[in-house]
A = this chain, B = another copy of it.
Amino acid sequence: MPKRRALSVALIGTKFMGRAHSNAWRQAPRFFDLPADIRMAAICGRDRAGTSRAAKILGWEKAVIDWKAIIADPLIDIVDICTPNDSHAEIAIDSGKIGHRIYHFRARYAQDWIADENFPLVWRLQSKVAGSGALGDIGAHIIDLARFLVGEIAVVSAVSETFVKRRLTKNRQPARVDVDDAVSVIGKFRNAAILNLEATRFARGRKNQLTFEINGSRGSLVFDLEDMNRLRFYDATDSEHTRGFRDIIVTESSHPYVGNWWPPGHIIGYEHSFVHTIADFVKAVVARKRVQPDFADGLRTQRVLAVIQRARPVSSL
């Protein structure tokens, strides 16, 4: 019997995403039949005590505080740079169920955690650390989605705003907010579909609403991450008498990924998409297949972000 391959993983980051990715590495082998064993070798953070605690709680063999040591370590096979995948694309775009022409793609990533003007000036609100505000933090995800689901973007126009221009630092000193609180974007894809995007942290009541709607020549699809176990699908080829948006609970064994979890109607949560990404990633690495999204995807998305950041509306009334 050939010896089964083992992959040694190191993770950089111990906070929100660090916890989500740790969970994904730990859970993936429990629910997916992976072609290699996973060794959670090292986690890398900024301070020794916190990183050691994270290693213990999150299940990593050792704690490291110098990321260069990880890159240099020949025993590490994978340094975790995974990003979430979308579990619904397979339904939408491969099967042509909404038609072969796409007319509209609109997406919105809306949160409200800084809508209170008394919320302090955290690092995400400073351009020297975060680069941009809502655009880069959450807008980047829907640009990824747009490119993944529809194709490359040809032209854009954008408007952005910093609604609360001064906030108190944690030391209660007033300081300027120099990133965008919200951005709204229109444009066209190369295939002539119309693009409409919005990223905001100022939509009261929206906690983590990543929603999109695609209208194609034969149907439409609607998704919302806050209700991620459902996909709404309109099939224009249904009879006029009985057609309407179908509220599909995507937990059947025929749906992608979820057959590895629970019976139909038993829903999954936010972190499961990370497990799916790890499972896909490990399979691709072992099979020496191309992994997507790759660095080139990241670069193209960054270019779109850069163009949006410079774009301004031109017509005054």
A interface list, Cβ under 8 A from B: 16, 20, 22-23, 26-27, 29-30, 57-59, 91, 97-98, 101, 103-104, 106, 111-113, 115-117, 152-161, 163, 181-182, 184-188, 192, 194-196, 198, 200, 202-209, 213, 215-220, 225-236, 238, 240-249, 251-252, 254-255, 261-272, 303-304, 307-308, 310-317
Assess whether A315 is in contact with B159, with CB atoms less than 8 Å apart.
Answer: no
Q: Are A317 and B156 in contact (CB under 8 A)?
A: yes
Residue of A20, A116, A154, A208 contacting most chain B CB atoms (<10 Å): A208
Residues from chain B with Cβ under 8 Å of A269 in the complex:
229, 261, 266-269, 272
B268 pairs with A254, CB closer than 8 A: no
A206: chain B residues within 8 A (beta carbon): 215, 220, 265
Given contacts A202-B103, A265-B111, A269-B268, contact A247 B249 (CB under 8 A): no
A-B contacts, 5 listed (Cβ < 8 Å): A97-B242, A184-B186, A204-B218, A207-B265, A308-B315
Contact between chains at B153 and A236 (CB < 8 Å): no
List 13 other contacts, CB 8 Å, given A104-B198, A241-B255, A262-B271. A20-B262, A103-B181, A103-B202, A104-B182, A117-B217, A204-B219, A204-B234, A207-B249, A226-B265, A233-B244, A240-B254, A246-B246, A266-B271
Which one of A184, A195, A236 has the greatest number of beta carbons of chain B within 10 Å? A184
User: With A113-B264, A246-B242 in contact, do A317 and B154 touch (Cβ < 8 Å)?
Assistant: yes
Q: Which of B161, B262, B314 contacts A16 (CB 8 A)?
A: B262
Contact A156 B194 (CB under 8 A): no
The distance in angstroms between the C-alpha atoms of A103 and B182, with both chains bound, is: 9
- Work out how many copies of this chain go into the complex: 4
Q: Is the CB of A186 within 8 A of B220?
A: no
Distance A159 CA – B111 CA, assembled complex (angstroms): 26
Q: Which residues of B contact A104 (CB under 8 A)?
A: 182, 198, 200, 202-203
Q: A30-B23, A226-B265, A272-B269 are in contact. Are A236 and B314 (CB under 8 A)?
A: no
Q: Looking at the complex, which one of B232, B241, B246 makes contact with A91 (CB distance below 8 Å)?
A: B241
The interface residues of chain B lying within 8 Å CB-to-CB of A113 are: 263-264
Assembly CA distance A221 to B159 (angstroms): 22
Given known A161-B194, A163-B101, A244-B248, contact A153–B317 (CB-CB < 8 A): yes
Sorted nearest first, the 5 A-B pairs with minimum C-beta distance are: A208-B265, A207-B265, A205-B234, A244-B248, A269-B269
Determine the residue in chain B with the shortest Cβ distance to A316: B155
Which residues of chain B are near A245, meaning CB under 8 Å? 205, 246-247
Q: Is the CB of A200 within 8 A of B184?
A: no
Chain B residues near A236: list those with CB within 8 A.
112, 115-116, 204-205
- CB contact between A106 and one of B16, B198, B268, B310 (< 8 Å): that residue: B198
